[in-house]
Every structure is written in structure tokens, then in C-alpha cells.
Structure 1
């Protein structure tokens, strides 16, 4: 039996970071939450203030034998602006920065290689600034944030359209 691993990604608003991963065999769960900061059990309001050091993030449990970490990273890079260190799209400030949090040495190496490949691709004119950091405690967000796109499809769609995320992503990742 294959072991289950965790992957943790920050990419701005966590509402927009769930759906892209939530459609593949081998992905067991996706939870929205907070990581990277210094406050235990932070609330949404605390994180949003920018004073906790936490970023909005998703924690994915997955079976790497079915859905490898490399594929998660491919999806991740196609959800963020890796050249923006001040937030993502309409969401500005430290709690909305993009980051990859690795859970073991292998994930760190794979993430580093994927970042180098993205840099070498020339897809972006500005430098890739998304950091690759060791994973720390992950604090789940409040229930109303979990599976937001499923529970509030109209609000999710309107927020995503207003953010400019899809317009930016389609420019850099045409299908």
C-alpha cells in the first residue's frame, strides 16, 4: 500500500487554490488554512490583518503513487503569479503571498527543480520570486472557508472573475 503524503501551497486567496486540485484521482483531501507564521490557532481576521506571519494556504493529502508531487507542482505554478511577492492578483499583503512549503527533502528537491525549469522556460519576463520553504504547523481555516467553491458557487465565480487571476493565467498558460 502506498503512503499518503502532504503538500502545502500558498497562492493568494485559498478559495481559488482548492478547485484546481480537487478533480484528480490520488488526491485524498484539500483543506484551506494558514501556515508560515508565528500565531497558534489563528483566525481568518488575524491572518487577514497581516500581523501573524501566516499565509492563506491549502494542505493537500495525496497518494504519490497515483498522483506524483511533480504533477501537483505543475498545477500549482499554473495558479499563481510567481513574480509577485506582494500578494496575488487582487489580494494584497503578506497573508496572500505565494509559497511552496515542503514536507521532506525529496519534496524540496523536486520543488527546486520545478522552479528552475519554470525560470528556464522564459515564460515570465520578471524574476520568479515564489519561495520554497520548510512546512511548519498548518492551522485549518474556519468551516465556512472549506470547499468554498462548492458551497458558494456564485460568490466564488464572481470573486475569481474580479480578481484578474484567470485573465493573467490564460495569458501565461494558454490551453
Structure 2
């Protein structure tokens, strides 16, 4: 069961017993990132302190109820739920940029096509402003940026078997990630900045 469900059930149980939640205990925010394969984006953000939950899904298309086998016009993306008192949106942006290849406009690594292109989907005007500023900084570093930065439309959760795939099928996941050369390409693009903020936890 995802941690967000467990936390919600625990909170409901405490309230039903008359407990008062401390101020700020449920202060969470969400951020949405498209960085190629959503299994990998989930894994990367789960290694960051302050992230409470990651959910794979689809975003950006026009159809209702997209699925893995029918999500034309959508990107694979991950919704990140985090505690802003423990990790800032700016830090999330740093982790995102330095775990993808922002110069690639045709997909990410071995995954090609629109569904695997990169994007930052802001969930508030403040996020959009920060994301635009970070885009400008990355452009200075790399010379070009193919990542779209825009306001988030509706996010659709992916099928259950995609959630936490790296935990459910660790051998298959590692084989995929290595074979796709995700880590190798990120290191080629970013050098010492690759996987900023989570490098010590990368397998």
C-alpha cells in the first residue's frame, strides 16, 4: 500500500479517537515532473529526504482515462508529494534537472517519442516562477534546454503495476535502467553535477 494511503488512514483513525493533529503535521505540497520512464523518476525522487510519496501517471493529453497502451498525446510523469518544511521546491527542481538529459527533444535515453520527453508541470504560480528561473539557469549551464515548463493540466494515475515498480521488480528494473544507459547519459551531460542531491543513494 502506498505511504500516502497509510498516512491518510492513520490520520483519520487519530481524529476519530479525539486526537488533535499538531499544527503543520499535514502540510504537504505536490510537484509534477516528466523525465522519461516514470519508474526511474519515481525511484530517483524516493531517494530524496522530505519526499513523502511518488505516483506514476500520464499528463498533457486530451483523452479521458489514458492507459499504458493508449496514452497518445500524454507524457509519462510522476506526481511528487513532499513536506515543504523538509525539502524545498527549488531542491526538487535541482534533483529533476540533474537526473535527466534536458537537451534531448526526442525522448529520454533508449525511450523515444513524445511520451518520454521532459517537462516540469507547475501546480501553482509560485512553482511556475521558480521553474522558469531554474530553466534559465540550466540553459546557461548546457546551452540549450528542450524541457517544457508549463502549468499542470489534469494528472491521471497509471495502472497499479507501474507504481513502485523498482521495488516490486528490482532485477528487471535494474536491467532496464542499465540497458537504457540512463545513469551513464546523465553523467555524460552533467559530469560532477549528475544526480545532485541523491547521488549517494544511486545504485
How does the TM-score come out when normalised to structure 2? 0.79
Give the stretch that moved more between structures: 164-173 or 132-141. 164-173
Question: Residue 173 of structure 1: CA displacement?
Answer: 2.9
Equivalent position to 2:122, from 82, 89, 102:
102
- In 1, distance between residues paired with 2:153 and 2:122? 9
1:117 corresponding residue in structure 2:
137
Is 1:25 aligned to 2:45, yes or no? no
Larger radius of gyration: 2
Equivalent position to 1:150, from 167, 170, 195:
167
Aligned alpha-carbon RMSD (Å): 1.2
Residue segments in structure 2 that go unaligned for 5+ positions in a row: 1-23, 193-203
1:38 corresponding residue in structure 2:
62
Number of paired residues? 168
Runs of 4+ in 1 over 2 A off after TM superposition: 172-175
Question: Residue 172 of structure 1: CA displacement?
Answer: 2.6
> Could you tell me whether the CA contact under 8 Å between 2:123 and 2:151 is conserved in 1?
yes
Higher relative contact order (CA 8 A, sep 6+): 1
- In 2, distance between residues paired with 1:6 and 1:34? 15
- In 1, distance between residues paired with 2:99 and 2:47? 15
Is 1:14 aligned to 2:38, yes or no? yes
Is 1:173 aligned to 2:173, yes or no? no
Question: Residue 60 of structure 1: CA displacement?
Answer: 0.4
- In 1, distance between residues paired with 2:40 and 2:50? 20
Question: Residue 86 of structure 1: CA displacement?
Answer: 1.2
Residue segments in structure 1 that go unaligned for 5+ positions in a row: none
Question: Residue 97 of structure 1: CA displacement?
Answer: 0.8
> Could you tell me whether the CA contact under 8 Å between 2:101 and 2:189 is conserved in 1?
no
- In 2, distance between residues paired with 1:25 and 1:153? 21
How does the TM-score come out when normalised to structure 1? 0.91
